[in-house]
Amino acid sequence: MPRLYFEDFPPGWTISFGPRLVTREEIVAFAAEFDPQPFHLDEDAGRASILGGLAASGWHTCAIQMRMLFDAFIGNTDSHGSPGIEEVTWLQPLRPGEVVTLQGEVLEARPSRSRPGVGIVRFRFDLVGATGKPIMRQVATIMIGRHGGAEAA
Amino acid sequence: MPRLYFEDFPPGWTISFGPRLVTREEIVAFAAEFDPQPFHLDEDAGRASILGGLAASGWHTCAIQMRMLFDAFIGNTDSHGSPGIEEVTWLQPLRPGEVVTLQGEVLEARPSRSRPGVGIVRFRFDLVGATGKPIMRQVATIMIGRHGGAEAA
């Protein structure tokens, strides 16, 4: 697979990636380190909460999606990182044993005004469960090198 | 310290928490699992990148901030989790050895329309380095139980 550059991500470009199993063990391990709220650690506490059962930390969901993005295309892309995220919406709980798929679409792509050789690509990412259950939506911006680098700008 | 409820977070409430040292070891460990882009794993690759040196994954920065929030007040608050984040802006790289402080402010607080007994609190969080360097800004919503629970609604 050839390395991907800004020009490879026009508006309307889509990707679907997965499936990826999410385990109870990793949910609890992430929560214990970064987000030890009871409903991320314990089934009974989860059932007693608005989440209705043990559920992954939303930040764990973001981290899992980041790894899926890396494996799907970012690891093979001239990525220069991200200045930020416009939206993170946690739509439904991510449960142990869920199998997630990532769907991505390019909303907008433009050359950077300040960095020759780099383009700015806005993506929408939807993380969905095995039955199509929507789990998380993000709108994120990634800086991606232009084909030929600075010379092309 | 008494347990905190929705009523304890009026608009204008502020908190400052830290400091917290961020180590190279944890930056590389998180990146290896969730965001193995070269500039999050290797000093030379970081120097060759826009980041100008090894820097934490933005999602690691979010996870570190979540743990700081937990230790600062969420662990002692009747939190019911978050429906989402309106903004995550990664302002400057988070480097190994950086010492971060968290500053939070309540922007808005209102009872939930759909969930009696719960209030919706919008926070702005700024993560800053030792010299006041801005590293990340977030605007996040947290659902917090009202004092007295559903009976109070």
A126 located within any domain: yes
Percentage of residues in chain B with pLDDT exceeding 70?
Answer: 97
B68 located within any domain: yes
Largest CA distance in chain B: 59
pLDDT at B148: 81
A143 located within any domain: yes
The pLDDT of B9-33, averaged and rounded, is 97
pLDDT at A148: 81
The pLDDT of A35-54, averaged and rounded, is 96
Task: Indicate the residue of A84, A90, A115 with minimum beta-carbon distance to B83.
Answer: A90
pLDDT at A2: 78
At residue A25, what are phi and psi to the nearest 5 degrees?
A: -60, -45
B118 located within any domain: yes
Among residues B86, B74, B101, B81, the alpha carbon closest in space to that of B17 is found at B101
Q: Domain range holding B39?
A: 6-152
Residue B125 CB neighbours (<10 A): 23
pLDDT band at A153 (very low <50, low <70, confident <90, very high): very low
Degrees (nearest 5) of the Cα angle B66, A139, A71? 80
Average per-residue pLDDT for chain A: 95
Task: Please check whether residue B59 is in contact with residue A63, taking contact to mean a CB–CB distance below 8 angstroms.
Answer: yes
Provide the token pair at B22.
Answer: 């961020």
Task: Indicate the residue of A39, A75, A81 with minimum beta-carbon distance to B39.
Answer: A81
The pLDDT of A6-28, averaged and rounded, is 97
Whole-structure pTM value: 0.96
B58 located within any domain: yes
pLDDT band at B65 (very low <50, low <70, confident <90, very high): very high
pLDDT per residue over B97-117, tens digit each? 999 999 999 999 999 999 889
Residue A18 CB neighbours (<10 A): 16
- Predicted ipTM? 0.95
Task: Indicate the residue of A30, A36, A67 with minimum beta-carbon distance to B35.
Answer: A67
A1 located within any domain: no
Question: Which domain CATH number covers A137?
Answer: 3.10.129.10
Residue B151 CB neighbours (<10 A): 8
B1 located within any domain: no
Percentage of residues in chain B with pLDDT exceeding 90?
Answer: 93
B53 located within any domain: yes
The pLDDT of A73-88, averaged and rounded, is 96
| Chain B contact probe: residue of A20, A37, A90 with most B CBs at under 10 A | A37
**Amino acid sitting at position B25:** E
Better-scored residue on pLDDT, B2 or A147: A147
Domain count, chain A: 1
| DSSP per-residue string spanning A113-145 | SSSTTEEEEEEEEEEE-TTS-EEEEEEEEEEEE
The pLDDT of B7-31, averaged and rounded, is 97
Residue B10 C-alpha, separation from nearest chain A C-alpha, in angstroms: 22
Better-scored residue on pLDDT, A42 or B150: A42
